[in-house]
Structure 1
């Protein structure tokens, strides 16, 4: 706004208005001011005129009298009537705890012209005699109960849209373009309900509906199919410590968003699922040593919390890489935040047991109950075993006698070129797993022998040739502790997941163990199945007592480096014989 110059005011002062005009203006303004002042004095403590609350005239009343008048004249509606597609729905107002606050309503009407803003209040008061004001009632209700009632109605009215999706069916990409649906517009409906109730009305409310149409255009469907085609044969792996999460096929396609890049809710759900397996509280170390063996041990572990936001970013970046590049596999490390435990492993012992230096695992899905029992029993013999620096560990020495007298049950074993039922079947699952842990720890393997034939259990999560058989007193598994401190052996058996893990703890001296991928050569098919008559079995009975396996020669190299120098290396050779399936055919009398 332009500023008036001082000269303007000098001219204005010199301007002489007619006296009659000034007198007329004074005669008009003064009475108006007197009337307006009297009007305000009259309504001191009262609501100004032409004011209604829900249709009830509260003009020129005190808030207290207005409140009483409202209580006498307002008919509280008993129900809310909602209508959609000529179908009525009723919500009882008592079910949502509707209550009117008449005192607050009257006070609001009173304070409407007493805001403290002089200009605003002047205008409102001056206009009051000429402009009718109808205010709504102040009220309260249970929003949660109202929301529940509306959810029930929405469930009956809504037509769920079919959201676009892409799937791999019989190796072919199939795109669902989606279908439109309708839903109740809760925000608008709540506003309408509030308006009707504020004026104590029982008029029906037309339920507002909104269309939800996620349907893809032909072009969008074509683009989505093209993206899926690039991902259908690719793999995304997420790794944390010894856990690997693998996603491929429809698991990856389900992350695609036809209208954006990737589905936010799907990537968030994926991150939340991984968090369940990754997150943990810090764990203090426990170390109780009695009679030459560690009776109780728990290594210290850092507390871990998944960084879900960082993980979703990594997932999206990896998916983009898989889409635009020729790479068939992308592997990412799961980002986490760590919290140190109060008591570290090295704080509770002076034997050099500081950290995990080796870990081996195997699976035994499909094992009979007796074999699983034997695996658990044999593994328990190695819990808390200490191997001193320079000492050579003998599997058989620690295991001890394997027989029915020492608690073992009968399960299948390989003996004298045959698969037979014998005490301790499953012990070789334990020796195989410990062999893998010793390799991972970089320990010198003094003695190891492969099985006579390939055993399916040992290839459930591994390539062939990484097994170790034992049979006292002729066949043993031995390795040497050439680390600077003691090493501690700890088994972990999970019968529900059919998995066995051996962990070796000690002091890392910086060594790095490497094993090459096993090379399989001289593959020989198994002989024809052999059927043998057995008079002890009823006629018509067939019982399998041996299982076929392909013969092969498997080799892999094992090396240990420290400070850039190779300190140990060895080539392991496994000669697996082809094995035929043998069936017993019953020829005895039928019962």
Structure 2
């Protein structure tokens, strides 16, 4: 039997392929939905929108908007569970943006590609999540409510003195809800269908002060105490705030402590209030009045601790809460109280307010038998002395088992007479 010539076979194959292209092309034009109709088989958030126009799909979603907005996201941490509606989380759906995205499914490429996409969509039934807008402030507010139930604040290591004995209180780790991760988890939950609980993640919250930071501390090396009137509420509030900023401070060996750096500026934004302060020998209202008393109490403790004083300023008139020559005036950016930890171990500052008194203790590692005494001399023999001013000289005497080892002149101050700071 004589076969067909090869060239006829090639012509036949070409004609068949062209026929198939024509058939597929015809199917494409006959079956592929128009530009404003969503491909059959497409779903949005579980709702069938395939075959609908964009407006019809938007209307269908609009009818279910309120129901969708009130759907709950389940948030979990260990045994605790919280239910929050999407609306309470600040999530609002963007129906038009969602429909526009669904409308584009399968519409790109050639006519043949569109036919293939049509078959794929019919069988895969893609389900588009609703596009949404997020009010981050509202979202963060909701998560902060949860954080308030989850978070555990870390506890700093501390030194306490009880019945003359020094005891180290070890640190404790805390936990903190990772809000940034929680936000992404909720986003992912919205994108998925079903009400799968979001398992919240936490991070460890480490204390600032660890027991290892206080190694070598074994006793109180110096203390200061001053009294104030709690009836002056504004001044008392300023004292409480400054003491809070000071308490728990660690001064490593060889480091200079700065009161202004640690306590910070005395401004309303930091919570300080207007109270009487001394300005050029006269009492006037000023923000942060009372903070000088905290600095003075700390100065007294530093003196008895034997620490090297690097900067200290007297008031223009002697305050009533401490003897002349033992006060310390501070003005942020102008006058500071600074002293050096000239020991071989850290120094821990304990500062509290109780029963109308500021109590500051410095903990460190002192040597047995060492003690410090302060001696104040009032003089009027200075050639520059004027009748309206008083002159005070302060010495610090170091003792070793009761015998004087050395003494040093700490300060020489002039005060205006007749004005007492209470």
TM-score normalised to the size of structure 1?
A: 0.35
TM-score normalised to the size of structure 2?
A: 0.47
Question: Does 1 or 2 have the higher relative contact order (CA < 8 Å, sep 6+)?
Answer: 2
Higher Cα Rg: structure 1 or 2?
Answer: 1
